[in-house]
Amino acid sequence: MLCLGLETSCDETAVALCEDGRPVAEKLASQIDVHALFGGVVPELASREHLRRMGPLLRTLFADSGLTLDEVDAVAVARGPGLLGSLLIGLATAKGLALGAGKPLIGVDHLHAHLMAATIGREVPYPALGLLVSGGHTQIMLLRSALDIAVLGRTVDDAAGEAFDKAAKSLNLPYPGGIYIDVLGRDIEADHTLFPRPFLDNHHLDFSFSGLKTAVATYVAAHGELRLPVMPSPGGAIDPSAWPMPLRRVCAALNFAIADTLRVKMERALDSRDTGPVRALLAAGGVAANSRIRGMLTELAARRGLPLFLPRPELCADNATMIAATGCLLGRAGLTHGLDCDAVPRGRRVPWDYREGPPLGRPSVDRRPGPQ
């Protein structure tokens, strides 16, 4: 089954093709430059950029892959959660393509797609315990199968990515700052006492990162020399050795505080009778690219004797391959939407409101990946 996927939930405009869950081609236009000026995503600008970039991206995706819309078996699109105005651009485009070419439409939960990014090209033994860490979400999930997922714990306020980004902002590092905190904090001993590991003194699996965000901002305000006088220009390679050691120590301590908080709650979930035995660990979302968090999960999985499934770093961030791959999974199960499928804004749960029908797709075709 060949599925076209569209992603416009935040600040990446992306389109991709997957054949039976395997990536065939992707085109992605990042809007980081547009939003970096403002230190965060400006929703109005994001919608306009999606509108401007979507058409040309689709044209090059088909031209470079040598495939046509006619050969596609379904059009999958991220329907939420995300910025409403941005989602509407993707959804309206997907509906137009589905209607014009007579193809089924599949609305995809962006969070479901993030998790599925960890399963691309691999056989995951279920049930699996999943950690979803992104700019807007921090959740522990139980995956009974790829299509049967329950949330066991979630953040009650800010997500881990928000804590990284706000810490970076207070240090005058460019947006989005997670990658800077990650790289600058690498290869140095982390002070385990500098920042609190928040919200552990309880028995549940929820997270809260707003206190940690404040703790870092307060620490940086009290040590003014940590704040860079001039914001470095975003993009390009980050060479940690070129940065002041006190700043790098703050980054290392923050990487530790967030990674270890995630570890404690994942261990708690593994030990909980409500979770039951699991056969694998899985993590996804932009923050799952963090090297300290990847190291923590690798160590945890080895200690617990479980296989670990992590997406390639480029599939951790928002992308359309994960939407197309999840579209394949849903289409194969005969799950689609009508053209009345609506967008779901941030903070609302995406309903499981698929229509059930016969499995989509034709026998698998062996396609060579197109140029990326």
Give the β-pairing of 128-133 and 138-145: antiparallel
Residue 317 makes contact with ligand KG4 by CB under 6 A: yes
What is the distance, to the nearest Å, from the Cα of residue 222 to the centroid of all Cα atoms in its chain? 33
d(CA 29, CA 60): 12
Q: Which residue's entry shows tokens 């044209």?
A: 59
What is d(CA 175, CA 35) in angstroms, rounded to the nearest whole number? 8
How is residue 293 written in tokens? Answer: 């968090």
In the complex, the smallest distance separating the C-beta of residue 132 from Zn ion, rounded to whole angstroms, is 9
Q: Which of 6, 17, 205, 287 binds ligand KG4 (CB under 6 A)?
A: 287
Counting contacts by CB under 6 A, is residue 90 touching ligand KG4?
Answer: no
Rule CB under 6 A: say whether 161 interacts with ligand KG4: yes
- Residues 6-45 close enough to bind ligand KG4 by CB under 6 A: 10
| Shortest reach from residue 232's CB to ligand KG4, in Å | 15
Q: Which partner, Zn ion, ligand KG4, none, binds residue 174 by CB below 5 to 8 Å per kind?
A: none
Give the nearer residue to ligand KG4 in terms of CB position, either 1 or 160: 160
Is the bond preceding 176 in cis, omega lying within 30 degrees of 0? yes
Q: Are 284 and 115 in contact (CB under 8 A)?
A: yes
Taking the complex as a whole, how short is the minimal distance between the CB of residue 5 and ligand KG4, in angstroms?
15
Beta strands in 189-230 (DSSP E): none
Is the separation of the CB atoms in 4 and 15 below 8 Å? yes
- Among Zn ion, ligand KG4, none, the one that 26 touches (CB under a kind-dependent 5 to 8 A) is none
Q: Does residue number 285 form part of the binding site for ligand KG4 (CB under 6 A)?
A: yes
Structure tokens at 188: 């140095």
Report the residue number, 168 or 330, with the smaller CB distance to ligand KG4. 168
Q: Considering the complex, what minimum distance in angstroms separates the CB of residue 63 from ligand KG4?
A: 27
Q: Output the six-digit token pair for 66.
A: 């040598």
Which of ligand KG4, Zn ion, none binds 5 (CB below 5-8 Å, type-dependent)? none
Q: Which residues contact 118 (CB under 8 A, 6 or more apart)?
A: 124, 130, 282, 283, 284, 309, 310, 311
Part in contact with ligand KG4 (CB under 6 A); list of ranges 22-30, 72-80, 132-140, 326-334: 132-140
Is residue 318 involved in binding ligand KG4 (CB under 6 A)? Answer: yes
Sheet with 2-7: list strands edge to edge. Answer: 22-30, 12-19, 2-7, 74-80, 105-109
Q: By CB under 6 A, name the one of 31, 290, 321, 336 that touches ligand KG4.
A: 290
Using CB under 6 A, pick the residue from 23, 107, 286, 311 that binds ligand KG4: 286
- Does the footprint of ligand KG4 cover residue 129 (CB under 6 A)? no
* By the rule CB under 6 A, 178 interacts with ligand KG4: yes
